[in-house]
Amino acid sequence: MAKALDTKDAREAKPPRGSADSSNNSGDSIAAMLDANGVLTAEAERAANISDEELRTLYRLMVVSRRLDQEGLNLQRQGELGLWGPYAGHEAAQVGAAMAMAPTDWIFPYYRDFAMAVCRGIDPGAIMTIFRGLTHGAWNPNEYRFAPFIIPVGTQVPHAVGFALGCKLDHDDTAVLVGFGEGATSTGDWHEAMNFAAVFNVPLVFLCENNQWAISVPMRQQVSGRIADRAAGYGFPGVRVDGTDVLTVYAVVRAAADRARRGEGPYLVEALTYRTQAHTTSDDPTRYRTEADVEPWKSKDPIRRCAERLQARNAFDDAFAQAVSEEAEQRALAMRQHLLSAQTPHPASAFDLVFANPPESLLREKAEFIEALEPERGE
């Protein structure tokens, strides 16, 4: 594990501690899976019975996701995207959590959860059209059981709680996962959602991707104590896990989702990681942190740690690494080509996304809007 940073921000950048020793988690079998650093114990890893092939899949998806992230940054710098939110450092938290959910489960992402969308099989090129400003919804949520990206901080959390309550009322064997950053835990939406989820005992896994920076605001100015411990105040358990270890995230979220499906209610997983790049391409992180702050976390790179686990299992070689790298390059190229060939939709298409059966008043408004448009060149 990385050493704590030798700066005034060291307190929020300590390596993750597990919750197995927390009095708030007494008798919690999920917390008992973790050691003091928030990593699966050897016994818990054996019990989780995660095969070499499953771990190789997690590695592959992380490598692909990181390459797509870099391509997103490239595209924005080349003027092809209006904005990009890098997620380097989040790969283990996002891939581990998304792959831990059953295909029939639902995921409610926040704007940085690109890797989760990739895990759900959504075309990365289609997702990119959102950041190009061509669409507000690039996929059918029902098809992928994956809700739209949400930009306002924290507002997707009550959406997920309401959906999970609906699953419970329908006696549907479905668990729901909602992702958010640690900054969202300072919003009213998050606290109201936590309380509502507990009161109605909904089948929901709260996943906090704690990258320790809410844009330029460090953890110590956001939260007193650990986010995972906040769950106890609402009457359900929470744990902090090492968010750079994909196997730990996968096993813990899978256990929490299984618990939710059994009717045992919500669970909070705080995945401690670090945002190694800017908040978005509109942000300059050098204004509020130094390279010395970032450097210790590079040794905890999620992809390298997964490779080391695979090597320890004798399940990693150069041929596999090369094949994964080539796949990542091919998918990045396909994403770029999809984006650059995407057509700009007609402005009036925005009216088509409001009602399934639009009222006459909206249809009249749409007709007036079209009439008022300036003709395109060549017409």
- What mean pLDDT do residues 24-33 have? 80
Contact 125, 339 (CB under 8 A): yes
CA angle in degrees (0–180, nearest 5) for 219-222-228: 75
Using DSSP's 3-state secondary structure scheme, residue 202 falls into coil
Contact 3, 210 (CB under 8 A): no
- What mean pLDDT do residues 297-314 have? 95
- The pTM score is 0.89
- Element spanning 213, H or E: strand 213-214
Per cent of the chain over pLDDT 70 is: 92
Buried b (16+ CB within 10 A) or exposed e, 232-249: bebebbbbbbbbbbbbbb
List % helix, strand, coil for the chain (3-state, nearest 5): 50, 10, 40
Tokens of 216: 């330029």
> Which of 60, 66, 279, 336 does the annotation list as catalytic?
279
> Which of 132, 144, 234, 288 does the annotation list as catalytic?
288
Which domains are delineated in the chain? 10-344 (3.40.50.970), 346-379 (no CATH)
pLDDT single digits (tens) 251-277: 999 999 999 999 999 999 999 999 999
Contact 179, 96 (CB under 8 A): no
Is residue 191 annotated as part of the catalytic site, yes or no? no
Tokens of 324: 């994964």
**Edge-to-edge strands, sheet with 267-272:** 106-108, 176-181, 204-210, 267-272, 238-242
pLDDT exceeds cutoff 90 at 27: no
Pick the closest to residue 209 from 273, 149, 257, 159 (CA basis).
273
pLDDT single digits (tens) 217-227: 998 898 889 99
Per cent of the chain over pLDDT 90 is: 83
Is residue 279 annotated as part of the catalytic site, yes or no? yes
pLDDT single digits (tens) 148-168: 999 999 999 999 999 999 999
Query: How many contiguous H segments (helices) and E segments (strands) does the chain have?
Result: 13, 7
> Which of 254, 275, 305, 331 does the annotation list as catalytic?
275
User: Cα–Cα distance between 241 and 253 in angstroms, integer?
Assistant: 10
Pick the closest to residue 282 from 84, 102, 120 (CA basis).
84
Using DSSP's 3-state secondary structure scheme, residue 206 falls into strand
Could you tell me the pLDDT band of residue 21, with boundaries at 50, 70 and 90?
Answer: very low
Mean pLDDT of the chain: 91
Contact 61, 99 (CB under 8 A): yes
User: Cα–Cα distance between 300 and 6 in angstroms, integer?
Assistant: 16
Is residue 288 annotated as part of the catalytic site, yes or no? yes
